[in-house]
Amino acid sequence: MYRNLIAAAIALVMFLPSARAGDFGGNQSELIRSLLPTVVNITVRKEAMGASSSVNAGATTGQNADSKTFVGSGFVIDPAGAIITNYHVLENAFEISVTLHDGSVLPGTMMYASRLADLAVLHVQPPHPLTPVQWGDSTKLQVGEPVFAIGNPLGIGTSVSAGIISGLNRNVQDSPYDDYIQTDAAINHGNSGGPLFNMQGQVVGVDTALVSPTEGSAGLGLAIPSDTAQFVVGQLKAYGWVRPGWIGVKVQQITLPMAEALGMRVPEGSVVSWVLPDGPARKAGIQIGDVILRFGDKAPRDERALLRDIVRTPVGETIQVTLVRDGTQQTLPVVVAAWPRKKWETRDAPLPTERPTADIRPDLGLSLASIPSADRAKYGLEDDVGGVLVSGVVPGSDAARRGITEGDVILRIQAKPVAATADVQSSITAEREAKRRFIMMLVLQKERAAPGPSWIALRLPDAA
């Protein structure tokens, strides 16, 4: 979630629908209903690696010894199946399922992601064009402005909450780039990745964080601004990484004591505390101790805003930087370069593009054996019931994640009874040749909460 980024992402402009603003004559309920098809619920399965942070807004819904199920939210940006969510929703997932507004469930593939921005784009293959959102301008948001969030809080299903913008430019992670929107519209665990809408039905934020002193759902709701999300997604799509602008300076916000020390009437601008050798700033003549007041036509309100402006400037563009040195104001042209990629990747190594997360499939992970006649009673099997014994399970395999353990008995594959290990293998082969992604097994588990067997679906490796 909330990783520090250089805030940032672009929208895929060609995917934006025609404006909805004003279409409903103030009918808020009709507006909200029209937006529900743009929002999806996301369910992922991950390795069991401890509790989730109380600062993100993802929710845990179930688990076994090897895996946990988490839920989150997302929204459509392309009718062909591109969906935005938070990176922390998909991080380390070995299975992604997306539930559309009509109730249909589709497998998802993570295509691009930025860890620092906590943004990801996943893709589904829908049977029909999906309804994409319309982006709004988060730079025009005002404290007190009404907004509403749509998502999957606590995994209960699509829900709507309303409130106002409670604050802007929040620096929750103490990062130079944080610029979160704070809202009192309820954002609970499971809302992660869902949209924050303005009253024109435009997305102005990506619901991301719940800052809470407890593991509960009480706290402050935060969202990534839409202009950040659009920048990051566009950069990922174009380059495979954020490719931020860079001029090679370290800056600090001017405080009141600093202003007095420098003979300034009021604290404004950012003071340069370091200039990297051979960087664009050094080449342009910027020096340690300079106070940057303007970056192009903008007067950044703090050092984080200045850094965000630098990051989002197109590489190669020349920017006029206005600064004060020894009480004299001057303007220097600076050619913005790309952040050195090797250095950037230590912060936010890019994920391979076009890599389906769902295709990283461990083997079924099952060792099988026939059940000796003398042992059938031991496993609670009647004489007329077949079955194949699970004699071992590979740790970390799909079978282990789904709760199959040594000593379980497989009774059926799909609808067919099995009596020998060859029956199991032939059924797996047949389903793989049929290009199925999963196979159903009726399993009598050695340790079970309720009497009788249970169906378990295992992922088939090498299936299309």
pLDDT digits (tens, 9 = 90+) for 408-451: 889 889 888 888 888 888 888 888 888 888 888 888 887 776 77
What proportion of the chain, given as a percentage, has pLDDT over 90? 34
Q: Of the residues 192, 217, 226, 427, which is catalytic?
A: 192
How far is Cα 296 from Cα 333, in angstroms, rounded to an integer?
A: 9
Q: Of the residues 118, 227, 302, 408, which is catalytic?
A: 118
Q: What's the mean pLDDT in 165-189?
A: 80
Strands 270-275 and 291-295: antiparallel
In this structure, what token pair is assigned to residue 283? 């080449």
Strands 202-211 and 134-135: parallel
| pLDDT beyond 70 at 33 | yes
Confidence class for position 174, pLDDT limits 50, 70, 90: low
pLDDT of residue 1: 37
The rounded mean pLDDT for the chain is: 80
Q: Of the residues 88, 123, 138, 227, which is catalytic?
A: 88
Strands (E), 199-257: 202-211, 220-225, 245-246, 249-253
Q: What's the mean pLDDT in 173-189?
A: 78
| pLDDT beyond 50 at 122 | yes
pLDDT, tens digit (0-9, with 9 covering 90-100), for 212-248: 655 555 568 899 999 999 999 988 888 888 888 999 9
| pLDDT beyond 90 at 27 | no
Residue 423 annotated to the active site: no
Q: Set out the domains of the chain in order of their start, with CATH numbers.
A: 13-239 (2.40.10.120), 245-338 (2.30.42.10), 361-459 (2.30.42.10)
pLDDT, tens digit (0-9, with 9 covering 90-100), for 284-334: 999 988 999 999 999 998 888 899 899 999 999 999 999 999 889 999 999
Residues 6+ apart with CB under 8 A from 391: 367, 368, 369, 406
Strands (E), 119-158: 119-123, 134-135, 146-151
pLDDT, tens digit (0-9, with 9 covering 90-100), for 71-119: 999 999 999 999 999 999 998 888 899 999 999 999 998 988 988 889 9
Strands 119-123 and 109-114: antiparallel
pLDDT of residue 255: 87
What one-letter code names the amino acid at 266? V
Residue 192 annotated to the active site: yes
pLDDT of residue 18: 39
pLDDT of residue 227: 92
Cα atoms found within 13 Å of the Cα of residue 288, Cβ hemisphere only: 5
pLDDT of residue 149: 93
Confidence class for position 10, pLDDT limits 50, 70, 90: very low
Residue 302 annotated to the active site: no
Q: Look at the chain and count its residues.
A: 464
| pLDDT beyond 90 at 43 | yes
pLDDT, tens digit (0-9, with 9 covering 90-100), for 336-364: 998 887 777 766 765 644 333 333 333 58
Residue 397's nearest CA partner among 425, 365, 367 is 365
pLDDT of residue 7: 32
pLDDT of residue 6: 31
Confidence class for position 379, pLDDT limits 50, 70, 90: low
pLDDT of residue 330: 94
